[in-house]
């Protein structure tokens, strides 16, 4: 039976990425050695790193005055590194979910971290509007996609102060005007690569902004000067990420990917909106096209476990909602084919005919 992978992360990767990475595990770049055992200082991996950086810049149209880094530690380490490097006294945070909350918490260790607005009052089911960004803050931090609750900021906002975004779960899913941000970062295990590598896009004039001393490994300047090679980088994940970038370029690039993503999301949201037993959990104007969250309508809630088992029997994987929300979550990352979304919709319709 075909499996349809809706896991929220680590998540589905392109077949091309899996095949090319599998080959490299046995013979990397014609060396006769495995990708898992070659030196990151060898000319083969240096070429891989350089190509990955250049293709990342090309696909996202990153301006020349930005650096691209591939680091360890996940987005969670960036929650600390961002204020450590960029916050002298005050920063502003938009709190739209679990990960935004964690980023805000870390920033409080380094100075005054202002909560500009929060949607916690309605279980993070919407994106706050009409808030005021403090002009005296050194940066404004947002989390563009909310994987747990299914909301997304799908535009590049104008900010009166430097804008920083955690784009862990929606990078490469739509064109982004990089020039509106001084920094974008994220864990790779959604749209880019296996877990283990973190991407950082940072404008070069943002380093050396604080008066405090920064430990060497936590200093962005260290990694810019050393081309992400100050210590051994996550070679396997970077190589796999390069294969994903090649796949995406061959598909037509990020703009073409967005068209496909919208088609997938609209198919599933239409099914939810027209259902007798399912209902969405987020404000319609703030719906994520990456993570679609839904539950059973009140009178059908006792059937949630039964639907989970039914969906599993049809090959659906990873649609159970996060433990803090319940219900269901279908993650529609770049590599998930439209056919898988159609299979889920067919599964939902079949269950509804039996129960409604």
Per the DSSP assignment, residues forming a β-bridge with 163 are 140
Exactly one of 170, 190, 264, 320 is catalytic; name it.
Answer: 190
**CATH class of this structure's domain 15-251:** alpha beta
Q: List, in sequence order, every residue forming a beta bridge with 202; answer none if it has no partner.
A: 67, 183
Residue of 2, 43, 99, 177 marked catalytic: 99
Own/partner long-range contacts of 278-282 (Cβ < 8 Å, ≥24 apart):
278/328, 278/348, 278/352, 280/150, 281/125, 281/149, 281/150, 281/325, 281/327, 282/125, 282/126, 282/149, 282/150, 282/151
Q: Kindly list the distances between the CA atom of residue 334 and the CA atoms of 19, 102, 214, 256, 264, in Å, as whole numbers in the listed order.
A: 17, 26, 36, 11, 10
Q: Measured between alpha carbons, how far is 198 from 194 in angstroms, rounded to an integer? A: 10
For 271-296, how does the pLDDT look when each residue is reduced to its tens digit (9 = 90+)?
A: 999 999 999 999 999 999 999 999 99
Residue 324 confidence (pLDDT): 80
> Which among 27, 115, 67, 73 has a CA at the least distance from the CA of 218?
73
Q: Which residues, given as ranges, of the chain have pLDDT below 70?
A: none
Using CA atoms, how far residue 262 sits from 29, 146, 249, 265, 281, in Å, is 36, 17, 18, 5, 19
Exactly one of 108, 120, 136, 166 is catalytic; name it.
166
Q: Which residues contact 328 (CB under 8 A, 6 or more apart)?
A: 278, 293, 294, 295, 304, 307, 308, 319, 320, 321
3-state helix, strand, coil in the chain (%, to 5): 40, 15, 40
Q: What pLDDT is recorded for position 323?
A: 83
Contact 192, 241 (CB under 8 A): yes
Closest CA to 117 of 136, 130, 98: 130
Residue 166: active-site member:
yes
In the CATH hierarchy, which top-level class contains the domain 253-355?
A: alpha beta
- Sequence spans of domains, the chain: 15-251, 253-355
> What's the confidence (pLDDT) of residue 356?
80
Q: Contact at 8 Å (CB) between 78 and 198?
A: yes
Decide: helix, strand or coil at residue 337: coil
- pTM assigned to the model: 0.97
């Amino acid at each position: 039976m075909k499996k349809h992978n809706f896991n929220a992360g680590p998540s589905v990767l392109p077949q091309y990425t899996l095949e090319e990475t599998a080959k490299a595990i046995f013979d990397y770049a014609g060396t006769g050695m495995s990708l898992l055992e070659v030196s990151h200082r060898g000319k083969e991996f240096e070429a891989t790193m350089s190509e990955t950086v250049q293709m990342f810049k090309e696909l996202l149209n990153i301006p020349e005055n930005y650096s691209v880094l591939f680091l360890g530690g996940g987005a969670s380490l960036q929650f600390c590194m961002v204020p450590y490097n960029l916050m002298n006294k005050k920063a502003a945070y938009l709190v739209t979910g679990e990960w935004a909350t964690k980023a805000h918490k870390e920033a409080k260790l380094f100075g005054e971290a202002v909560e500009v607005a929060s949607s916690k009052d309605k279980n993070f089911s919407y994106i706050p509007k009409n808030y005021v960004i403090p002009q005296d803050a050194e940066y404004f931090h947002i989390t563009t996609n909310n994987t747990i609750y299914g909301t997304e900021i799908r535009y590049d906002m104008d900010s009166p102060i430097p804008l920083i975004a955690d784009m862990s779960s929606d990078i490469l899913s739509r064109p982004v005007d990089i020039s509106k941000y001084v920094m974008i970062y994220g864990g790779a295990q959604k749209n880019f690569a296996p877990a283990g590598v973190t991407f950082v896009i940072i404008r070069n004039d943002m380093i050396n902004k604080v008066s405090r001393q920064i430990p060497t490994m936590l200093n962005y300047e260290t990694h810019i000067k050393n081309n992400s090679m100050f210590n051994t980088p996550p070679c396997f994940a970077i190589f796999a990420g390069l294969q994903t970038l090649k796949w995406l370029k061959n598909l037509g690039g990020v703009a073409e990917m967005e068209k496909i993503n919208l088609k997938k999301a609209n198919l599933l949201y239409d099914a939810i909106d027209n259902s007798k037993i399912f209902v969405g959990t987020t404000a319609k104007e703030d719906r994520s096209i990456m993570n679609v969250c839904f539950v059973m309508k009140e009178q059908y809630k006792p059937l949630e476990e039964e639907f989970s088992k039914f969906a599993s029997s049809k090959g659906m994987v990873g649609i159970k909602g996060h433990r803090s929300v319940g219900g269901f979550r279908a993650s529609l990352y770049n590599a998930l084919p439209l056919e898988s979304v159609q299979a889920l919709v067919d599964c939902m319709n079949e269950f509804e005919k039996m129960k409604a």
